[in-house]
Amino acid sequence: MAINSWCKILILDTFQKLARLIKQFRSKGPNLDYLDEQDISRFSQFDIIMSNQEEVKRLLPDILGQALARAWIDKRFLEAFINYPVEILERGGVFLPSTICVEFEKKDTARPKVTVYETSNGRKQKLLELKLILVAEQ
């Protein structure tokens, strides 16, 4: 019985030392607690509300670049963005004028492509076309 008590004390002491080591290790690393409070589906900390063609041409390429990059590595995001590009942008805090439409295209092994159109008087005018291209350098 004395050996059993001694084993329990030894195990408890070992776990306490291990817990202290883990705590020390964690305290030396970066504090990433703030990530729990962030919504990673957003494209910016604040909503981006575009009201005209000039704002779309100036702001949307960077945002769609983020979306294309994420679509490249996240299959669930890719499927959602293919089917609902405007809705995904809105969920991410990006709001487009009602005259702007976004089409996402992914054919077989081709790289994904996003085309942005402005519609007026029943006609579509292409404003932007983006593709994510990977370039390897030596």
Domain ranges within the chain, ordered by starting residue: 2-35, 38-131
The predicted model scores a pTM of: 0.67
Q: Which amino acid is at 59?
A: L
For 56-111, give the DSSP string: HHHHHHHHHHHHHHHHHH-HHHHHHHHH-HHHHHHHTTEE--TTEEEEEE--TTSP
Q: Which amino acid is at 19?
A: A
Q: How far apart are CA 62 and CA 59, in angstroms?
A: 6
pLDDT at residue 113, as a whole number: 87
> Could you list the pLDDT tens digit for every one of the 138 residues in the chain?
555 666 667 677 777 777 776 666 666 666 656 555 656 677 888 899 999 999 999 999 999 999 988 888 888 888 888 888 999 899 889 999 999 999 988 787 777 889 999 998 889 999 999 987 877 887
pLDDT at residue 78, as a whole number: 86
pLDDT at residue 54, as a whole number: 93
Q: How far apart are CA 127 and CA 61, in angstroms?
A: 10
Phi, psi of 54 (to 5 degrees): -65, -45
DSSP 8-class letter at 12: H
Tokens of 26: 């964690």
